[in-house]
Chain A
Amino acid sequence: MSKPIKPIQVSASTLVNALGVGKESTVDAMFNSHSGLRNSNYPGMNFNTFLGLVDEVENIELEDELVMFSCRNNRLAKLALDSDNFREEVDIAITKYGKSRVGVFLGTSTSGIAETENVYIGRDEKTGKLPDINMLYTDNTSSVQRYVCRSLGVTGVSMVISTACSSSAKVFASAYRSMEAGFCDAAVVGGVDSLCLTTLYGFNSLQLISEDICQPWDKERKGINIGEAAGFVLLEKSSNSSGIHLTGYGESSDAYHISSPHPEGVGGKMAMEYALSSAGIGAPDIDYVNLHGTATPSNDRSESRGLQSVFGSEVICSSTKGMTGHTLGAAGINEAIICTLALENSIIPANVNLNKIDDQLPIQVTTKSMKRTLNHVMSNSFGFGGSNCSLIFTC
């Protein structure tokens, strides 16, 4: 059991993914059930798959004084910081609390590793030497946090969480604790993960990538499509009960296998139960679950078992990875923001690309978007290493 938490206000947010730049394009897909995935290529890739690419990242340049942070991951971060009026909202928080009282808690899995891949590809054949690279500012896991702090002008407590696909869900828990312990008054939480050869070839070597468009919960599902995304949320201690709040989080470890989920979804079940008890509500109170739903045979099976043991077959669910792809270290924030957009717009997004539901996964997955008033919604994020996190948002 987890102790009940105090609701934390979601004051602002911004999102960039394969559906487009800014939250509006994701809202549009949530109403109209289209996918941002395309049969496309990434430089140096020699196999066929669908990708959730953000084309606009190619045209972004970092601020002159922050040019040493240049890499695809930080350009994607800037694209999101520049969208949805987010910088202005953070400026208001800086004025209210002071720049040293705004914390920054971000998630990523591969950071700017694409830069390191490129120096190995560009190795000098004669001398065997690698071209110069500023690893601390690009490759290092913490690069995006240093870039975002300086780009936003905040100097509060800060770190990067890297727990594979749960990274940018867990940032909410750490930010909550930091505010509660008095180390900051407001927090920018978020996640950024960008396309790179490491994840493309790595997941391909594990035979987890689908050649076709990914089909979460489908009988014929063949694996993931990798996507990229950046999202940020401004959290503040709540001064009123209106608006959207983070009301629960639950974290657990599978203690089962380094890259396979527990077959009975035991770790996922614990994370969902902890989230419910920290929100002080029961399973019947949840109106919608945004599934981790990666579309690998074993992941969806594990999550289904975990969900059934917590919710039975009562709750309506969908995976939005058929729209955005699996954005890995950014999946937590991508889907947390989708949950807040669901609450804001009274819409349950469809589980797209689903032709024939797997009868071994007997939970209610909707293939059509549903217009309805929502009160409590849950987002699941489960990662390699057995790292699980469930979040609850309330309107």
Chain B
Amino acid sequence: MLSRKIYVNGISVVASGMEELNKSYEILKGSVDWSPVELSKMMPSALPANEARRTTTVIRLALKVIESIEYSSQTSVVFASSEGDLDITDKICKALATEEKMVSPTLFHNSVHNAPAGYFSIAADMKTPSVSLSAGDNTFSAGLLEAVTQVLVESNDVLLVAYDNVTPEDLDGFRHFDYPVGIALLLSTSEQSNTVGSIDVSVVSERIDVTQCFNNSLEAVRVGNPIGLGLPLVESLIKGMEAEIVIPYLNQNQLLVRVSSV
């Protein structure tokens, strides 16, 4: 068994009421209550204008949450999203329900689950590997586990970007999320000057109480979007706590994350 201690060298959260970095940190530290404020259009500054125009809300959410993180050009990326882009699913399915079935080429190439990964690689000019995954309501945990595994086995820095948007009207009754949420964590084998803390992740099958948000007002975000399940981990890292964080995972398992400050 490998030593599983991994350093967290960057954190970012973008969600309703948490678009501005300093305000997000205040909420995550617990010094300010969270309240919902709609996200802006979040036009990505790192993309050429032509490419930026083609991006969707979901792609912009994923790119926005990465924006404040400083990573090296050798970083691999894990993109985790339960639903990907349901706005596109909605538009394509509407087109396919008409006689002509005219699907827009731009919509189609943006429809792949790894569209944010494609735009990110172009914006950052990074040819490093990236993976785009889903595990339904347990997508944050699956993304964290894949990122941790990559750090442990490949020994490189890994950027985890987890995001899910709200659902368009026609599909909202079948898969409802309360708020858009994006979380990014930069993981590494090495401690650096910007290290926030360290984590050690294991999969446990015994039932332990899932950790709730330390800032009570954030509970609405934790339970209102699959990616929200990562918020207690983010809070504990930002507060510099020594803590054991339990996050729901698949197949009746849970992730136990031991958080240490530096």
Q: Which residue of B lies closest to A45 (CB)?
A: B101
Q: Which of A158-172 contact B (CB under 8 A)?
A: 158-164, 170
A258 partner residues in chain B, CB cutoff 8 A: 51, 54, 109-110, 115, 118-119, 122
CA distance A206 to B106 in the complex (A): 9
Cβ contacts A94-134/B at 8 Å (1 or 0 each): 00000010000000010001001101110100000010111
CB of B108 within 8 A of CB of A206, answer yes
- A146 contacts the other chain (CB 8 A): yes
A182 partner residues in chain B, CB cutoff 8 A: 1-2
Which one of B16-24, B29-37, B150-158, B234-242 contacts A?
B150-158
Query: Size class of A's contact patch?
Result: 35 or more
CA distance A46 to B96 in the complex (A): 11
Cβ contacts A24-39/B at 8 Å (1 or 0 each): 0000000000000000
CB of B89 within 8 A of CB of A113, answer yes
A119 CB to closest chain B CB (Å) equals 8
A156 partner residues in chain B, CB cutoff 8 A: 251
CB of B153 within 8 A of CB of A180, answer yes
CB of A162 within 8 A of CB of B133, answer yes
B112 partner residues in chain A, CB cutoff 8 A: 109, 162-164, 383-385
B211 CB to closest chain A CB (Å) equals 20
- B49 contacts the other chain (CB 8 A): no
Query: Size class of B's contact patch?
Result: 35 or more
Cβ contacts B233-259/A at 8 Å (1 or 0 each): 000000000000000001111000000
Which one of B7-15, B61-69, B141-149, B186-194 contacts A?
B141-149
CA distance A25 to B156 in the complex (A): 42
B217 partner residues in chain A, CB cutoff 8 A: none
A74 CB to closest chain B CB (Å) equals 14
CB of B136 within 8 A of CB of A140, answer yes
Contact A255 B154, CB 8 Å, known A133-B174, A139-B89, A205-B108: no
B125 partner residues in chain A, CB cutoff 8 A: 255
- B159 contacts the other chain (CB 8 A): no
CB of B149 within 8 A of CB of A158, answer no
CB of B89 within 8 A of CB of A183, answer no
Cβ contacts A128-148/B at 8 Å (1 or 0 each): 001011111001111101100
CA distance A205 to B92 in the complex (A): 12
B89 partner residues in chain A, CB cutoff 8 A: 113, 116, 139
A46 partner residues in chain B, CB cutoff 8 A: 101
Q: Which residue of B lies closest to A197 (CB)?
A: B96
B51 partner residues in chain A, CB cutoff 8 A: 258
Q: Which residue of A lies closest to B1 (CB)?
A: A182
Contact A254 B121, CB 8 Å, known A159-B134, A198-B92: yes
B153 CB to closest chain A CB (Å) equals 4
CA distance A117 to B173 in the complex (A): 16
- A178 contacts the other chain (CB 8 A): yes
Cβ contacts B39-69/A at 8 Å (1 or 0 each): 0000000000001001000000000000000
B29 CB to closest chain A CB (Å) equals 31
CA distance A116 to B85 in the complex (A): 14
- B113 contacts the other chain (CB 8 A): yes
A99 CB to closest chain B CB (Å) equals 9
CB of B133 within 8 A of CB of A160, answer yes
Cβ contacts A171-185/B at 8 Å (1 or 0 each): 000101110111100
- A157 contacts the other chain (CB 8 A): yes
A66 CB to closest chain B CB (Å) equals 14
- B128 contacts the other chain (CB 8 A): yes
CB of B127 within 8 A of CB of A140, answer no
B27 CB to closest chain A CB (Å) equals 29
CB of A270 within 8 A of CB of B127, answer yes
CB of A205 within 8 A of CB of B103, answer yes
| Cβ contact of A387, chosen from B105, B109, B118, B119, cutoff 8 A | B118
CB of B108 within 8 A of CB of A202, answer yes
Contact A206 B109, CB 8 Å, known A44-B96, A177-B150, A198-B92: yes
| Cβ contact of A117, chosen from B82, B96, B139, cutoff 8 A | B96
CA distance A385 to B149 in the complex (A): 23
A254 partner residues in chain B, CB cutoff 8 A: 121, 127
Q: Which residue of B lies closest to A256 (CB)?
A: B122
Of listed B115, B126, B130, residue having the most chain A CB within 10 A: B130
A277 partner residues in chain B, CB cutoff 8 A: none
CB of A384 within 8 A of CB of B82, answer no
Cβ contacts A243-270/B at 8 Å (1 or 0 each): 0000000011111111100000011001
A49 CB to closest chain B CB (Å) equals 14
A266 partner residues in chain B, CB cutoff 8 A: 127
CA distance A136 to B146 in the complex (A): 21
CB of B113 within 8 A of CB of A136, answer no
CB of A123 within 8 A of CB of B97, answer yes
Q: Which of B89-108 contact A (CB under 8 A)?
A: 89, 92-97, 101-105, 108
CB of B146 within 8 A of CB of A130, answer no
- B209 contacts the other chain (CB 8 A): no
A202 partner residues in chain B, CB cutoff 8 A: 92, 103, 105, 108, 111
Q: Which of A288-327 contact B (CB under 8 A)?
A: none
CA distance A266 to B95 in the complex (A): 36
CB of B96 within 8 A of CB of A121, answer yes
CB of B131 within 8 A of CB of A163, answer yes
A146 CB to closest chain B CB (Å) equals 7
| Cβ contact of B132, chosen from A120, A163, A180, cutoff 8 A | A163
Contact A159 B135, CB 8 Å, known A120-B96, A120-B97, A255-B126: yes
By Cβ-Cβ distance, the 5 closest A-B pairs, closest first, are A385-B118, A162-B113, A202-B108, A251-B129, A141-B134
Contacts A160-B135, A182-B2 supplied; 5 other A-B pairs, CB < 8 Å: A100-B251, A162-B112, A177-B150, A181-B152, A201-B96
Can you list 5 contacts pairing A with B, beta carbon distance less than 8 Å? A155-B205, A174-B131, A178-B145, A202-B103, A384-B115
